Structure 1
Amino acid sequence: MDRPIIWRLFEEITIDHRAERPVYLQLSDAILTLVKNGKLAAGEKLPGSRDVAGILHINRITVNKAFEELAMQGWLESAVGKGTFVSSHITDHEPKKLGKRLSANAYKRAGFHITSVNYLSAIPDITIPELHLDDGYPDPRLAPLKELYRAYRNQLTRSGLYRKFGSYGNPAGSTYYRQSMSDYLNTSRGLKTTARNILSVRGTLMGINLVCNALIAPGDVVISGIPGWRRVEHNFIHARAKHIGIPVDENGLVVEELKKICRKKKVRMVYVTPHHHYPTTVSLRIDRRLELLRLANEHGFIILEDDYDFDFHYRHRPLLPLASADENGMVIYCGSFSKSFSPAFRMGYLVAAENLIEHLAKVRVLQDRQGDHILDNAIADIINDGTIQRYLRKTLQVYEQRRDLFCSLLQQELQDRVQFNIPEGGMSVWTVMNRSINLDELVKKAYQKGLLLSDGDINKYPNLDNNAIRLGFASSTSEELIRSMEILKGLTGK
């Protein structure tokens, strides 16, 4: 060897023969680190493979593979009869020419500035305990998972594999799925669609984000009810819209307040959950529904209708969506199977005028080429064979029984510590707690006792704090609801 220091550099390399990463790649990683740190300079001659093998007590073939790997990537170059050298083309990689010191935390912290915004927050990855009064989720134990699995498997084994897997499809969704969804929504929701009015998305939130990306410009005025769904509000803010919240009372969105705003400002979009307002679960009264549609026609704003749990209404048949009465193409209707099956399944849809669906599909390509056509087709199969319809009829009865039990327990066990109305639909109870109960502390203490509660913080606003929380009943059995109530009673008792 020409330089004793190089011998020492290679002596310091550690090879772990028990590691999953192959030895030759461990060696190439170590040599690459020496190059990047400037300890092996451009044009520097490396020891021969026989010498390196002797230093590290490994096979010479392994060393040659490491050299070949780095040569293929451009870090090393070989000359017949002369040896292996650090590439002469990487002089700009020397640390002194990078302008900054090397960081040992490159995979922990980016080297460039990231603008922080207070509305973006990480979703905590927590262990879900056995007991939970969540935000209003379905019980996946009741979902037709076997039927969905069978339908998905059939998609993978039927003929026409190249058509399914060999190329990209329509970003709006497969024709089969869109036609099946059109038929299903026309029958169940009184819509008058064709397949060209449907766009498949990965859940309601993606659909809302897509609408914001495609239709909202900076400075546009977007209206929604307060309290509301914070994640959709964050989408409006992220689109740099001017978000204005208006009150919600026992009859839903106060449309009279919207009318006042329309007299003063150009409104671009109104987001509404008319069937069961999120989070309070109240339904938008018929006169307000009609007035909202009239205002949209008069002022030209978009109505983004989120019908997140249409299928679960107990007092009478579900109220038909605003979209069913829309005669001028003002409503974008979005829904999801995630609220029917499980939040883990990201299956949603947008319904709108044909030209808008075409536009949304073009924008969708920028973030997601086409979604999962195989899953879409599997869903279409279990719609067409009646599986979903049977499942919804069964779970509607189960969830109504759970609602009745849970509301009875709330009334009996918590008495004057809570106020609530029995919801006509949905999968949660909007529960206003006595002011003596600290919701933050209640959530923490309940979790310590094995009960997960939804986050009451998300329902607070600067000028509105009802000290209220959504307590979901649908995902728990009767026995689990009773045990959950025992914990709540113990934590809120006087």
Structure 2
Amino acid sequence: MISFKNLIHIDRSAETPIYLQLHNAIINMIKSGVIKSGAKLPGTRSLSLQIGLHRKTVIAAYDELMGQGWISTIPAKGTFVSDKLPEVKPRGQGVGKGLKIEAGFSFEERKYLHRPYAQLPSMLTIDEGIPDVRIAPIVEILRHYRSIVSRSYNAKYLSYGSFFGDDSLREVLANYLQETRGITCSKENILITRGSQMGMYLASQLIHQKGGFSIVGETNYIAASLTLTDAGASLLRVRVDENGLNTNDIQALCEKHKIKSVYVTSHHHHPTTVTLSPERRLHLIELAHQYGFAILEDDYDYDFHYQRAPLLPLASADEGNHVIYIGAVCKIIAPAIRVGYMVGPTDFIAAAAHLRRTIDRQGDTILERALAQMIEQGDLQRHSRKALKLYHERRVHFHQLLTDHLSEFISFSVPEGGMAFWVTLKKDMNWEAIAKTCLENQMVIPDWKNYDSHNSGHNGIRLGFASLNFEEQTKAILILKSAMKKESQN
């Protein structure tokens, strides 16, 4: 005899009605094989006494089970589990108790994609260079969002829309990119994505579906490397110096291999922050024309340049339709505002849009339309100027802290733009030990392994400054100083 009292647990404080909790519990018992197909269930009076519920509650649960076909009643005999259900053998931990840890089926696990996520919001964190979400223009976003949803004639935007993205944002972006980056394009050249990573994924999948070689820097943005690898690309690495990717190395590889793509963060190389020089930009475009490869230009922080006007993107000088330009507003506003864009030849953008449908039917149309209004009315540009001024001040302060407290342990150059410093630790010291000491002092630093995935031994990491105010920067550097002193003495 099954002891329903021990197997059915009712939470009277839960939002789920009690009769549905009982209903769900009985279904779980049937699914797990505890109650067999065709088995007789206790009468409503008997079960109500066993589990301490009102009989009407049990009747309501039985009625629901009967309506769904789980049980049936035979006059003068009782209530039974449907004999049409397949017999299930009891497994594992019992009814609803087993944690679903290991799948009972086979699947392909891409171990190389696994990376730890160490950022803990409750702790002081030196990130790798993200905006300060505390200054995000939330009021402006909400104002535009509310103005759209509050008008009844905009209800159509709550339905399915274009998988290319909201038309108004694509049109506004075409003008915005022309004015700010010198990129000549129309809305047909633009696909709205959920951040730049989606653009990188779609482009990689289309270009490397049948494999082929992709060139990246010896130091490279790890997410891009993993995305290209997962798409089927074989990575070839070239040197990175103070002028960015070495295009002579790229040319040498093109003479030996059929190159399908070159990935470049031209404005501020990720992770080292160096800018691709004008000479190398022109050389890279010429190589693309000569050898027929695509340039994947990830311009993740174009808007943050402190010393002079930024160099225009490669896409602004591309007359042979070889550059796929990838950007996002995430770095301007906040990482959670997942709106990005990909700019390229019309046929490529159409192919990417249709591929996008297989993983994400469309983005947030209302948010995209709100961002279009922010750009049209200058809200985004005003916020960008405000953030640029603030981050410039924070860069100066962070630079002074590094010089005053850490110069005996690290070497670094002052970045012309962006939101992070690239710092190189002395060769006889270890980032892992330093990170452990920092964590003991309630602070998280970036994972050094993300910057040296192929074990070159450069011993460098990115230290972001933009998301920390002066007080937080000082506290963070002093913790780092203490950790580095401890490591240097071991």
- Alignment TM-score > 0.5, same fold: yes
Instruction: Report the equivalent of 2:393.
Output: 401
User: Among residues 368, 377, 393, which one is paired with 1:385 in the alignment?
Assistant: 377
Give the Cα separation in 1 of the matches to 2:319 and 2:418: 28
For structure 2, the residue ranges without an aligned partner over 5 or more in a row are none
Matched, 1:205 2:197: yes
User: Among residues 442, 458, 466, which one is paired with 1:474 in the alignment?
Assistant: 466
Instruction: Report the equivalent of 1:119.
Output: 112
CA-to-aligned-CA distance 1:170-228 (integer Å, 9 cap, x gap): 01111111111111111100011111111111111111112122332142211111210
Instruction: Report the equivalent of 2:140.
Output: 147
Whichever residue aligns with residue 40 of structure 2, its letter is K
Matched, 1:42 2:76: no
Pair 1:56–1:241, CA change in 2 (3 A) = same
CA-to-aligned-CA distance 1:101-159 (integer Å, 9 cap, x gap): 78763622211134333312254365335643320111122222211121112121123
Whichever residue aligns with residue 52 of structure 2, its letter is H
Instruction: Report the equivalent of 2:87.
Output: 93
Instruction: Report the equivalent of 1:465.
Output: 457
Pair 1:72–1:227, CA change in 2 (3 A) = farther
Mapping for residues 238-317 of structure 1, pairs under 5 Å: 238-317=230-309
Give the Cα separation in 1 of the matches to 2:11 and 2:435: 48
SS of residue paired to 2:112: coil
Shift of 1:15: 4.0
Contact 2:12/2:18 (<8 A) preserved: no
Instruction: Report the equivalent of 1:64.
Output: 59
Contact 1:42/1:86 (<8 A) preserved: yes
User: Among residues 156, 162, 166, which one is paired with 1:163 in the alignment?
Assistant: 156
SS of residue paired to 2:80: strand
SS of residue paired to 2:10: coil
Instruction: Report the equivalent of 2:438.
Output: 446
Give the Cα separation in 1 of the matches to 2:92 and 2:479: 54
Q: Mean Cα displacement is larger for which, 239-248 or 201-210?
A: 239-248
Give the Cα separation in 2 of the matches to 1:198 and 1:131: 38
Give the Cα separation in 2 of the matches to 1:439 and 1:208: 29
SS of residue paired to 2:135: coil
Give the Cα separation in 1 of the matches to 2:51 and 2:453: 63
Q: Mean Cα displacement is larger for which, 8-17 or 292-301?
A: 8-17
Mapping for residues 169-208 of structure 1, pairs under 5 Å: 169-208=161-200
Whichever residue aligns with residue 70 of structure 2, its letter is W
User: Among residues 340, 353, 359, which one is paired with 2:332 in the alignment?
Assistant: 340
Mapping for residues 210-225 of structure 1, pairs under 5 Å: 210-225=202-217
SS of residue paired to 1:317: coil
Give the Cα separation in 2 of the matches to 1:353 and 1:151: 31
Instruction: Report the equivalent of 1:455.
Output: 447
Mapping for residues 357-372 of structure 1, pairs under 5 Å: 357-372=349-364
Pair 1:83–1:215, CA change in 2 (3 A) = farther
Shift of 1:23: 2.2
Give the Cα separation in 2 of the matches to 1:223 and 1:61: 70
Give the Cα separation in 1 of the matches to 2:419 and 2:52: 65
Give the Cα separation in 1 of the matches to 2:40 and 2:463: 69
Shift of 1:264: 1.8
Whichever residue aligns with residue 26 of structure 1, its letter is Q
Contact 2:315/2:323 (<8 A) preserved: yes
Contact 1:15/1:23 (<8 A) preserved: no
User: Among residues 4, 8, 31, which one is paired with 1:10 in the alignment?
Assistant: 4
Give the Cα separation in 1 of the matches to 2:248 and 2:34: 72
User: Among residues 64, 71, 74, which one is paired with 1:76 in the alignment?
Assistant: 71
Shift of 1:482: 2.2
Pair 1:484–1:195, CA change in 2 (3 A) = same
SS of residue paired to 2:424: strand
Pair 1:27–1:266, CA change in 2 (3 A) = same
Instruction: Report the equivalent of 1:52.
Output: 47
Shift of 1:37: 4.3
CA-to-aligned-CA distance 1:50-86 (integer Å, 9 cap, x gap): 3322333322221122122223333212345654221
Pair 1:133–1:51, CA change in 2 (3 A) = closer
Pair 1:261–1:85, CA change in 2 (3 A) = same
Give the Cα separation in 2 of the matches to 1:43 and 1:312: 69
Contact 1:95/1:102 (<8 A) preserved: no
Give the Cα separation in 2 of the matches to 1:174 and 1:249: 40
Shift of 1:456: 1.6
**Normalising to structure 2: TM-score of the pair?**
0.93
Pair 1:281–1:51, CA change in 2 (3 A) = same
Percent identity, aligned pairs only, is 38
Instruction: Report the equivalent of 1:107.
Output: 100
Q: Mean Cα displacement is larger for which, 300-309 or 253-262?
A: 253-262
Contact 1:131/1:476 (<8 A) preserved: no
Contact 1:136/1:428 (<8 A) preserved: yes
SS of residue paired to 1:270: strand
Q: Mean Cα displacement is larger for which, 47-56 or 383-392?
A: 47-56
Whichever residue aligns with residue 436 of structure 1, its letter is D
Whichever residue aligns with residue 452 of structure 1, its letter is V
Contact 1:95/1:101 (<8 A) preserved: no
CA-to-aligned-CA distance 1:380-425 (integer Å, 9 cap, x gap): 1111111111111222122122212211221222223211111111
Give the Cα separation in 2 of the matches to 1:111 and 1:324: 51
Superposition RMSD in Å: 2.1
Contact 2:238/2:249 (<8 A) preserved: yes
Instruction: Report the equivalent of 1:27.
Output: 22
Shift of 1:18: 2.6
For structure 1, the residue ranges without an aligned partner over 5 or more in a row are none
Give the Cα separation in 2 of the matches to 1:62 and 1:69: 11
Give the Cα separation in 1 of the matches to 2:156 and 2:27: 44
